[in-house]
Amino acid sequence: MSSPGVRFVDCTPWSVGWIAPTPRAMQRTSHAIAVDGRVWFLDPVDDPEAIARGLELGEPAGVVQLLDRHNRDCDSIAGRLGVPLYRLPTTTPDGAPFVPISVVDSRLFRWHEVALWFPALRALVVAEALGTASYFRARGEWVGPHPLLRLARPPRVLSSLDPDHVRFGHGAGRSGPGLGDDLRDAVRLARRRIPSWLIRLARTRGR
């Protein structure tokens, strides 16, 4: 039986995502992504039904932790499934279908994060540098930088990609045309949109 309130998102023939019920505002999102019949669990929060649905996509291949503070349930799930746990990989593990991209590497912020690019799927997975949870977004945005990065250092490295699918560690993802342009705008205009973001944040918290 799944945890009360778990919500499934980003469901395709090759992926399933699930949003943990708590903390509700954070919209902690986990994913299982399959390529060639092998399934990779990304920053997973444990939920029996979600893990089972991920395993319906294929054989488990590994668990990947994309953010230093996203321990979540990565270790226990990897142990239960009998697969390796890759913490912030800097190179592609043998046989893996993704390329790690260093997004944030800051001692000042105590923040180390990698994104994953799946070339065969043209899919990008971002743990926290970008997200769709309400506190990430300015007015009119469907995706925005993490609040700290909006103020200090927007993740420009992600501007070079043109994905057909994007998945996030906070909030639901999206598939379709023009995603690369949207990501570039979210990064390029991050600071310019700070006033709009602050107004939206205040209104959201006031509800």
Q: Judge contact between 148 and 135, C-beta under 8 A.
A: no
| Entry pTM | 0.94
What is the distance between the alpha carbons of residues 35 and 118, in angstroms, rounded to a whole number? Answer: 9
Fold of domain 7-205: Metallo-beta-lactamase; Chain A (3.60.15)
- Per-residue pLDDT reduced to its tens digit, 51-74: 999 999 999 999 999 999 889 999
Is the predicted pLDDT of residue 41 greater than 60, yes or no? yes
Six-digit token pair at 120? 């065969």
Q: What is the pLDDT of residues 72-87, one digit of tens each?
A: 999 999 999 999 999 9
- CA 89 – CA 94 distance, rounded (Å): 12
Query: Is the pLDDT confidence value at 201 over 90?
Result: no
Structural domain spans, the chain? 7-205
